[in-house]
Every structure is written in structure tokens, then in C-alpha cells.
Structure 1
Amino acid sequence: MIILALDTSSAATSVALFDGDVILKSARHIDARRHAEVLAPMIVEVVAGRTVDAVVCGVGPGPYTGLRVGVASAASLGLAWRVPVVGICSLDAIAYAARAGGISGEFIAGLDARRKEIYWARYGEQRLAGPYVNRPDELDPELLTLPWVGVGDTPAYPDATALARIASPLLSAGVPLAARITNLATHGTDDGATAKQLGNQQLLPPFPLYVRRPDAVAGIKS
């Protein structure tokens, strides 16, 4: 099964083409303001005319604009190619890479959420809690005793190769998607609702996980 994976949930735009357990080609560009410009040319370069059997996209959490570039592109490609499109929590990709790099036990995978906040989730062999968004001073002190990956002096970004490696065995085994996430949870209007609904599910519908509450809320006139 040839899988096209892509992620635009962070400052990095990442694309990879995966076949079985082999990365056929991958590309990454780091610029938080150019997802829309660079993603399509990167996909053309990586796919290089091959037939794709499924599309996997990182669904965040991440900033509204950049995240939607990847999710909307994945959905469009799925429609054009008539192939399934699935989502993976982007923090799962950071956690996967951390485990592959030798980390063991429980740890936190995080991403810079801007506004002096952090997107984070807790992991062991699987996602144990999250994703959430908090300021560092809001975190339980116990969390700060665990190893953190993805944030700090050496930030890591979700990588499309990790997304593909997570999704490939699940798609091949026919693992069903997690239940459709309600708009309330998807848009982060209820603190913790997204994490509660996701549980430790990995294959998700291809909808953005914003987690954060929206900046603009429709007013209600009396």
C-alpha cells in the first residue's frame, strides 16, 4: 500500500511517500508562513506520478491557518484520487519519533502553541492523555518531572514519515476510524472535550483538532 503522508500543524511542512515499510521519498520545509505556497510543489515532487492508495494527514493540534492547509489538501487529494483519507494526531508523530530515538517510560510530547502556550499530550506505549493546550504555569507540577520532547531548546516538528509508519499497519489491518468528533470538541469550545473523545485512538477522521477555544464567537442578541 502506497501512502502519501503530510503535516502542516507546526512551522514545518512535511510530506512523505511510504510503501510497506519503505520511505520512497520525503521532503520538509520550515517556514511557519509558507505552508500554502510550498505544500503543493512538495507533493508533486514526492509523488512523482506514482499511484497513491491512501492519504494520511496530521490533524493537529496546531494553528488554524497552517493546519487547515494540510487537512484541506489531504481531503482534496482523496476526492481527486478516490482513495481513503485518515487523520493522525500530530503529537503522536512526535511521540513515535521519540520512541524510535530510544525514549522509554512515560513522557510528554509537546508543540509550541504560540501565545506563551503549549500543545501537549502524555505518552507511554500509547497516548495516555491529551491533546491539551496550556500555559506552562497551568501544568500539574508532576508533569514537569517527566521527560519532554518537541519543545524547549531543541524543538521537534511532526514528521510525515512518522505519520505514515503509524498509519500503515492500522490501514492494512482494517482498523476502523475513531467515532466522528463533534464540532464542539473539534473546535475546543469545551476544555478537555477533544482529549476525552479521542481516548487513545490513533486513526481519526481528517478534521482539524484545534483544541484551543476560537478567538471569535458569534454573539447572541436578545
Structure 2
Amino acid sequence: MLLLCLDSSAVASAALVSGAGEVLGSFTSPDTRSHAEVLAPAVQRLLTDRGLAATDLDGVLVGTGPGPFTGLRAGIVTARALAFAWDVPLHGLMSLEALAQDADRAARGAGHPEFLVLTDARRREVYWARFATGQDGPRLVGGPGVAAAEQLPALPAYGRGAGLYADRLARPVREFGEAQPTASSLGLAAVRRLDRGEALGADTTPLYLRESDAKVPGARKRALA
């Protein structure tokens, strides 16, 4: 199995991940203003560098958030367009699963049966999810949601959201304070799910958890009665 993985819930990223859990190539851009521009060329380079074509893919996997309105849409729309054009299956997976994939080994090593993963939701809030550790990978037990950091339970907290608001959390894990979801880790999380016998979902509905600040204008008011 070979998956093309995309995530734009935080940084813009793309990766090729095999069913054996090997990352064959990856791309990450920290520029949050150019997600739509960089993803398609990055995908082309990943395939070209490995001597692959779209016909070699078994599916496209995209992170569905939670994330900001504009950036998240860029990755999901790109994934939908590529899967449609290439006639390959499209799968969606919550982006916080990628952070949990990265944090799970450290959490188990530290003896934490449960932990939080946090990304920045702006406005002094975080996107959060709660996971239980396990030999076969982390499992979601709560969330996702958006909240102020001090409202969260006193569990070890991993991710950039924990780094930004460490002073407002009970147990921030500082060495993971810059971690954000990436396509590589999303793909590895998907492989773990498959190894557990869980199917990948086809739902790519974005998890915004906050409405867009842009609103459709209403009808103009008449100046005179």
C-alpha cells in the first residue's frame, strides 16, 4: 500500500507513506500564508523524486483538522481534487492523530496512561484532543474541542498549543512545545489504524471548530423610508 498524505491544519505538509510504516518522502513548509500555492508542486516533486506516478498510489489521505478556516481548506481541496483526477480512494483523518502518533512513545515511556495534544486555535485558545496510550498506538478518548488552556484537565500536554500556553497548563511537556501535525505522522497514524484492523474513513469534512470571520453581507438597508 502507498498513500499520498496531506495536512494543512497548521503547517503545509505532504508525504508518501507505505503500508509498512515507512516515510518514503516528505515536504513541510512553515509558511502559513501559502498553503494553496505550495502543496500541488510539493506533491509533484515527491512523486518525481521517487520515480512514481499517480497510478502507483493506493489512496490519498488528508488531515481534516481542527484548524483555521483558510489553511485547512487548502489541504482538503487539494486532496479531493487529486483523488478525483487520479481516480483513487480519498480518506480523511483528524489532524490531531498525527500529534498523538508523535507523542505516544514519549508518553508511554514516561508512564502516562493518558495525555493531551494541543495546537494553536488563536484568540488565546487551543484545539485539543485526549488520547490513551497503548502498545498498538494511541486511541482517542476525548475531543476534539476548542478551549482556553486553563480549562483542560491536568494531564501531560504535548504540541505547539502546550508550548504557547505552558504557563496556563498543569503539565506541559516542554520538549514537545513546538510539535505540530505533519502529513508524515498522519500517514503513520493511518497505518497503525490499519494494523489494528480499523478501516480508514472516507469523510473529509473539515473540522473548523470556529466559523470563518468572513461573512456573506446581508441586504443593503434603505437610506430613506
State TM-score, norm by structure 1.
Answer: 0.77
Q: Which position in structure 2 is the counterpart of 1:124?
A: 132
The answer to whether the 8 Å contact 1:3/1:168 transfers is no
Provide structure 1 residue ranges, at least 5 long, that are not aligned to the other structure. Answer: 178-202
Q: Which position in structure 2 is the counterpart of 1:76?
A: 81
Number of aligned residue pairs: 191
Residue 113 of structure 1: SS of its match in structure 2? strand
Distance 1:66 1:19, change over 3 A: same
Q: Which position in structure 2 is the counterpart of 1:3?
A: 3
Q: C-alpha deviations, 1:50-69, integer Å up to 9, x for none? A: 32110101100000000000
| Residue type of the alignment partner of 1:106 | E
Q: Which position in structure 2 is the counterpart of 1:146?
A: 155
| Residue type of the alignment partner of 1:159 | T
The one of 97, 102, 126 aligned to 1:97: 102
Residue 107 of structure 1: SS of its match in structure 2? strand
The CA RMSD over aligned residues, in Å, is 2.3
Q: Which position in structure 2 is the counterpart of 1:164?
A: 187
The answer to whether the 8 Å contact 1:9/1:67 transfers is yes
Residue 207 of structure 2: SS of its match in structure 1? coil
Does residue 1:134 correspond to 2:157, yes or no?
no
The one of 120, 139, 146 aligned to 1:112: 120
Task: Write the distance in 2 (CA, Å) between the matches of 1:204 and 1:156.
Answer: 26
Distance 1:134 1:19, change over 3 A: same
Task: Write the distance in 1 (CA, Å) between the matches of 2:104 and 2:39.
Answer: 27
Distance 1:100 1:41, change over 3 A: farther
Task: Write the distance in 2 (CA, Å) between the matches of 1:212 and 1:158.
Answer: 19
Does residue 1:210 correspond to 2:208, yes or no?
yes
Distance 1:173 1:155, change over 3 A: closer
Task: Write the distance in 1 (CA, Å) between the matches of 2:158 and 2:24.
Answer: 27
Residue 5 of structure 2: SS of its match in structure 1? strand
Task: Write the distance in 2 (CA, Å) between the matches of 1:100 and 1:78.
Answer: 32
Distance 1:173 1:131, change over 3 A: closer
**Fraction of identical pairs, as percent:** 40
Q: C-alpha deviations, 1:147-182, integer Å up to 9, x for none? A: 1001215221102112112223545787445xxxxx
Structure whose CA Rg is larger? 2
Task: Write the distance in 2 (CA, Å) between the matches of 1:169 and 1:124.
Answer: 14
| Residue type of the alignment partner of 2:145 | Y
